[in-house]
Structure 1
Amino acid sequence: MAYDQFLAERITHFFDTRNIIVTTKKMFGGVCFMVDDKMCVGVVKEEVMARIDPEIYEEALTHKGCSEMNFTGRPMKGYVFLSGEAIDLDQQLYYWLQLALDFNPKAKSSKKK
């Protein structure tokens, strides 16, 4: 399953221009951008997955092109999918990336195996 390489490049540009250190991992058939060893954003097919503050989750879902992330049959609160309608312009994409980056210090790391 391929993911949108151009979209991944746009995300990389956002982090690079802000001197944010990220690592990338292949996940969910796409790519995940990790900040401080925590999932921040990713690209799945042609959508962005963003990990945002659960306190703004419900409000975020009211934005066009934003939907709940649902891999297991139930939504994952604090994780959203963003379609082209929400991220077409760099300004739109950067809004969501900044929300994910703002939440990152509060996010919990996955347990290491």
Structure 2
Amino acid sequence: MAFDEGLAERIRDRLGADPAITERRMFGGLAFLHEGNMAVGVIGDDLMVRVGPDATDTALAKPGTRVFDFTGRPMRGWVVVAASALAEDKALDAWVDQGHAFAASLPPK
């Protein structure tokens, strides 16, 4: 599956200054990891965000979100944000910041 390279570049612009960030192709898309823990990723035109189990319901109440259900089993702590909800840089910033903060709170892998 191809992924939106433009969205990936927008994410790189936001995370590029952090030396703990690495990229890895996963799930047919591109994942951004903080010290080995996935923070955000791009699948197709959409953004996946690791928000953590405690923030899942709040994240899902926001426009353009849905449960991350890649394997047929919903994954609590992860959401997918539709491309249509990411047109504004401010919206993308908020999601990337949230995913990055959660991943950074985890012990390095």
> What TM-score do the two structures reach when normalised by structure 2?
0.91
Structure with the larger RCO, 1 or 2 (CA within 8 Å, 6+ apart): 2
Count residues with an aligned counterpart.
Answer: 108
Q: CA RMSD in A?
A: 1.4
TM-score by length of structure 1 reads 0.88
Task: State how far apart, in whole Å, the 2-side matches of 1:52 and 1:93 are.
Answer: 14
Match of 1:39 in 2: 38
Q: Equivalents in 1 of 2:71, 2:48: separation in Å?
A: 15
Over the matched positions of the two proteins, sequence identity in percent amounts to: 34
Q: Deviations over 1:45-99 (max 9, x none)?
A: 0001110121111011011111100012221001110102321111000100111
Q: Partner residue of 2:106?
A: 107
Asked whether 1:9 is paired with 2:9, we answer yes
Structure 2: 5+ residue stretches without partners: none
- Segments of structure 1 that go 5 or more residues without pairing to the other structure are none
Moved over 4 A (4+): none
SS of 2:58 mapped into structure 1: helix
